[in-house]
Amino acid sequence: HTRVRGSRVSLAHMRVFRSVSIYDLCVVFQYGIVLDAGPSRTTLFIYQWSASKENNTGVISEHSSCAVQGPGISSYSGSPGEAGNSLKPCLGQAMKEIPKEQHDQTPVYLGVTAGMRLLNLTSPTVSDTLIAAVTATLKSYPFDFQGAEILSSQNEGVFGWVTVNYLLENFIKYGWIGRWSRSRKGTVGVMTIGGASTQITFKIKERSADPENEVTLRLYGQEHRVYTHHFLCSGTDQLRKKLLLKAIQVSAACSCASWLLQTYHVKCLKL
């Protein structure tokens, strides 16, 4: 997760900060559901948008969110069925908040990030079973299922970059006259530190020497060439595990159990 001006930003988390207008009261919104499944937690977001677009790109606002109780999906490797069950309370909330007549028109999508990428490297069968479990749960609801998958590191980085710059109104901005207009501000680079990985993503002017990590986007009538790089095993949870392992190795060498406890406690608080 990242923070921008006090607001928590998650995968595909796009929120527009503006007052409600007469247009908002009259327009019929469409809805979409995104489940951001990180290494340590999952959050369900409900988004809404109108049929109109700005330069062939939709303007999306967040309707509401729901924090799934329990750990991240990858933590259910010993009981895959519980991974799907953990989503049910938040999906039930979505059933209530989205008009019933629009349920079958509401796309739902779940994206899992670095925690599952790690699990997929070590235990691909287990990760496949977990994806199958959450897929079965999502398909049991009347929404339009669009997929449940492990996001590539490239997509994760690009989604984060788009989200942050969208929130900062670096693509378009909502003016005082009640209309959207192209922003004159430049974009910013984004570093996202998650539980299992760290991503750094920024806009570039020329082609990079590493084309596999380069993506070209067209948003609101403008083209953006973006470079993203992924550092797996460099998230906060993984760094804590590395620190603990190092502490255990040093402790075993000097047989200092008290040193282990003190060092781990102090250094974890600094991370």
Active site residues: 156
The residues facing 54 across adjacent strands are 57
CA distance 97 to 1: 25
DSSP 129-194: HHHHHHHHHHHTSSSEEEEEEEPPHHHHHHHHHHHHHHHTTSSEEE-TTS-EEE--SPP--EEEE-
Please indicate if the annotation marks 37 as binding a ligand: no
CA distance 224 to 170: 12
Cα atoms in the Cβ-side hemisphere of radius 13 Å centred on 235: 22
Please indicate if the annotation marks 132 as binding a ligand: no
Please indicate if the annotation marks 196 as binding a ligand: yes
Please indicate if the annotation marks 197 as binding a ligand: yes
Q: Which two tokens stand for residue 5?
A: 């001006």
Instruction: Let me know the angle formed at the C-alpha of 118 by 8 and 251, rounded to the nearest 5 degrees.
Output: 95
Amino acid at the residue 79: S
Please indicate if the annotation marks 51 as binding a ligand: no
Annotated binding-site residues for ATP read 195-199
Binding site, annotated residues? 195-199
